[in-house]
Amino acid sequence: MTDSFEPKITAFVCNWCTYAGADLTGTSRIKYASNVRVLRLPCTGRIDFMLLAKAFSRGADGIIVSGCHPNDCHYTSGNYHARRRWMVYRDLMDFMGLDTRRITFSWVSAAEGARWAELVNEVTVAVRALGPYTDYRELALTGVE
């Protein structure tokens, strides 16, 4: 880990809550670490965990998945599906020997601008300390792209 290592964080967020919350962070001019790249989805329920695997193989050092709070999903139940999938996926990741500390699953509502900034900063600091996620990347690069 060199001093100049800056982690790449990819964030999968839902349009109605977390994306809007991140917009609020912007409107409130709250500053946070710039390592994150946000990908917009209609709902966290849309997230197939193959997408997370792809993100890692493309060089993400850390991933954030964030959606509406339980009971508040714009589409009623998408976030419950996402949470359940996450439970299973986390065990699978563990089993495969992937680093589950690099994925953060959270809820940020459209009103929680400050929380989004806090989350991004926390994750950036944590992933910076873990260092670059080279294991998976190497695996991916040797395989078929």
When binding is defined by CB under 8 A, the residue of 7, 19, 102, 119 that contacts other proteins is 19
DSSP string, 56-97: HHTT-SEEEEEEPPTT--TTSSHHHHHHHHHHHHHHHHHHHT
Please choose, out of 40-48, 95-103, 122-130, 133-141, the segment that lies near other proteins by the rule CB under 8 A.
Answer: 40-48
Q: Is residue 69 part of the contact set for other proteins (CB under 8 A)?
A: no
When binding is defined by CB under 8 A, the residue of 17, 47, 108, 123 that contacts other proteins is 47
Residue 104, token pair as written in the block = 């953060």
The packing angle between helices 18-27 and 113-130, to 10°, is: 100
Map residue 1 onto helix, strand or coil: coil
The two beta strands, 62-67 and 36-41, are: unpaired
Residues numbered 94 to 133 that lie near other proteins (CB under 8 A) are 117
When binding is defined by CB under 8 A, the residue of 1, 31, 95, 97 that contacts other proteins is 31
Q: Is residue 76 part of the contact set for other proteins (CB under 8 A)?
A: yes
Question: With contacts defined by CB under 8 A, how many residues of the chain interact with other proteins?
Answer: 44
Cα–Cα distance for residue pair 25/111, rounded to 1 Å: 9
> Which CB atom, from 104 or from 124, has the smaller least distance to other proteins?
124
State the nearest-atom distance from the C-beta of 2 to other proteins, in Å.
16
Q: Specify the DSSP element, H or E, that contains 103.
A: strand 103-107
Q: Which chain residues interact with other proteins by CB under 8 A?
A: 6, 8, 10, 15, 19-20, 22-27, 29-32, 34, 37-43, 45-49, 51, 54-55, 58-60, 74-78, 81-82, 85, 117
